[in-house]
C-alpha cells in the first residue's frame, strides 16, 4: 500500500529574533506531504494501514474527539485506500456537524458518539465497541495512532530534514510522534516536545512507556538525556488560547508565509521563540521545528467561536 509522503520542504526562518540571537531555525513542512492525510498523521497511519492490508481487514475503527485531526486523516485514508471507516467520537452529538466531522462523514466514516465517562474508561470503551460491532472484520487504530506501528512510522520523519541539527521540536498530543523522533536521533541531537494539554507529566510518561517498548534496558538508560517535554506553553490546556498566542500566530504567518494552528503548532513555535529569547537555545545552534499539520483545527476554532456565542459547550471539552 503506497501511502507515500510527497515532497517535505525544509523552510529556513529569517526574522528579527533569529538574527538577533544568532540561531538557525528551520520548519520541516510535513503539513505539505499529503492533501488530506497530512503531517504526522501520514507517518502514524502508514504502517497501520499496511498491517490492516496484511490482516485482510476491510474496516478501520479509531477514536477521537469531535475536532480530532486523527479522525479526519483516518477517514481520508479509508476513502483513498478503499477501507470502510468507523469513528468513535467522544462527547455529544450535534445536528450541525463541525468541519472535522463533516469532512470525516463526507469521506464515508460512520460516526458513533459515546459519553466522556465511557470514553475515559478504556475497558468500558472497548467493551462498548465489541458490543456495537460483534461480527465485523475490523482493524482498530488507537486514539491519535499511538501504537508501536504509529511510532515506527514517526521514526521516518527526521530523514526528511537533510541537514545537521542540534534540536528537533514537535508539538505533542499523545506522545507517539516525539517518541518516534527520539528513536531516530543520532550523535548529539536532542528532541524537545511541547505538550499541548495541561496535565502534569502526561506526555513524559507516555514517551517513557513508548521508548521502553523499543529499547533494551541499556539503550533506554542512554537515551534519557537526549529529550525533554516542555509543559510551559499549553496556554491553559488543550485547545485553550490567549490573545498573545493568536497575535504570535498571525505575525508568524505574515513574516514567513507559514500557517500555524492554535492547538498544536502555534504553541510549539511560540515556545521555541521564547526559549531562544531566554537563552535556552544558544547562539549558533540549529533548531528544526516539525510542522505536524492539523490546520483543519483552525476551522474548528472558528466553528466553536460561533457556536459558543450561542451558549454552546467549551472547545476544550470536545478536544
Tens-place pLDDT, residues 222-238? 566 899 999 999 999 98
Predicted local distance difference test score (pLDDT) of residue 307: 56
**Under 8 Å between Cβ of 239 and 315:** yes
CATH code matching the domain that covers 10-34+153-299, chosen among 2.60.40.180, 3.40.50.1100, 3.40.50.410, 3.30.559.10: 3.40.50.1100
In the structure, what pLDDT confidence band is assigned to residue 95 with cuts at 50, 70 and 90?
Answer: confident
Which CATH architecture is the domain 40-145 placed in?
A: 3-Layer(aba) Sandwich (3.40)
3-state secondary structure at position 273: helix
CA–CA gap between residue 38 and residue 75 (Å, rounded): 12
What's the pLDDT tens digit per position in 147-174? 999 999 999 999 999 999 999 999 999 9
3-state secondary structure at position 67: coil
Q: How is the chain split into domains, by residue range?
A: 10-34+153-299, 40-145
What's the pLDDT tens digit per position in 121-145? 988 898 889 898 887 799 999 999 9
What's the pLDDT tens digit per position in 4-34? 667 799 999 999 999 999 999 999 999 999 9
What's the pLDDT tens digit per position in 53-69? 999 999 999 999 988 99
Question: What angle, 0 to 180 degrees and rounded to 10, lies between the N-to-C axes of helices 40-54 and 176-184?
Answer: 90
Residues 6+ apart with CB under 8 A from 279: none
Predicted local distance difference test score (pLDDT) of residue 313: 44
Residue 13 in grid coordinates: 526562518
pLDDT higher than threshold 70 for residue 89: yes
Same fold, 10-34+153-299 and 40-145: yes
pLDDT higher than threshold 50 for residue 319: no
HEC assignment per residue over 194-253: EECCCCCCHHHHHHHHHHHHHCCHHHHHHCCCCEEEECCCCCCCCCCCCHHHHHHHHHHH
Strand order in the sheet with 227-230: 10-13, 24-29, 286-291, 167-172, 190-195, 227-230
- In the chain, % of residues over pLDDT 90: 75
Written as one string, the DSSP assignment of 116-147 is HHHHH-HHHHHHHHHHHSSS--EEE--GGG-S
Amino acid at each position: 500500500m503506497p501511502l507515500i509522503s510527497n515532497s517535505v520542504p525544509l523552510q529556513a526562518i529569517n526574522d528579527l529574533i533569529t538574527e538577533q540571537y544568532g540561531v538557525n531555525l528551520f520548519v520541516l513542512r510535513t503539513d505539505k506531504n499529503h492533501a488530506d492525510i497530512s503531517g504526522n498523521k501520514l507517518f502514524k497511519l502508514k504502517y497501520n494501514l499496511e498491517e490492516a492490508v496484511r490482516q485482510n481487514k476491510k474496516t478501520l475503527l479509531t477514536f477521537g474527539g469531535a475536532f480530532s485531526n486523527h479522525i479526519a486523516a483516518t477517514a481520508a485514508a479509508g476513502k483513498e485506500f478503499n477501507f470502510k471507516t468507523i469513528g468513535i467520537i467522544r462527547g455529544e452529538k450535534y445536528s450541525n456537524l463541525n468541519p472535522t466531522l463533516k469532512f470525516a462523514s463526507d469521506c464515508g466514516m460512520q460516526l458513533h458518539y459515546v459519553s466522556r465517562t465511557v470514553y475515559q474508561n478504556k475497558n468500558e470503551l472497548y467493551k462498548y465497541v465489541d458490543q456495537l460491532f460483534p461480527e465485523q472484520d475490523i482493524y482498530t487504530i488507537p486514539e491519535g495512532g499511538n501504537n508501536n506501528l504509529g511510532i515506527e512510522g514517526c521514526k521516518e520523519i527526521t530523514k526528511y530534514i537533510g541537514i545537521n541539527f542540534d534540536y528537533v521540536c514537535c508539538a505533542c498530543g499523545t506522545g507517539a510522534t516525539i517518541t518516534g523522533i527520539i528513536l531516530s536521533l543520532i550523535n548529539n541531537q536532542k528532541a524537545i516536545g511541547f505538550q499541548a494539554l495541561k496535565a502534569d507529566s502526561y506526555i513524559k510518561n507516555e514517551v517513557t512507556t513508548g521508548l521502553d517498548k523499543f529499547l533494551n534496558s541499556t539503550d533506554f538508560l542512554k537515551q534519557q538525556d537526549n529529550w525533554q517535554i516542555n509543559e510551559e506553553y499549553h496556554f491553559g490546556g488543550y485547545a485553550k488560547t490567549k490573545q498573545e498566542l493568536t497575535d504570535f500566530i498571525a505575525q508568524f504567518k505574515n513574516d514567513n508565509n507559514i500557517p500555524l494552528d492554535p492547538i498544536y503548532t502555534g504553541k510549539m513555535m511560540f515556545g521555541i521563540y521564547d526559549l531562544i529569547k531566554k537563552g535556552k537555545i544558544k547562539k549558533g545552534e540549529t533548531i528544526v521545528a516539525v510542522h505536524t499539520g492539523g490546520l483543519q483545527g483552525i476551522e474548528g476554532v472558528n466553528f466553536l467561536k460561533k457556536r459558543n456565542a450561542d451558549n454552546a459547550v467549551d472547545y476544550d471539552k470536545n478536544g
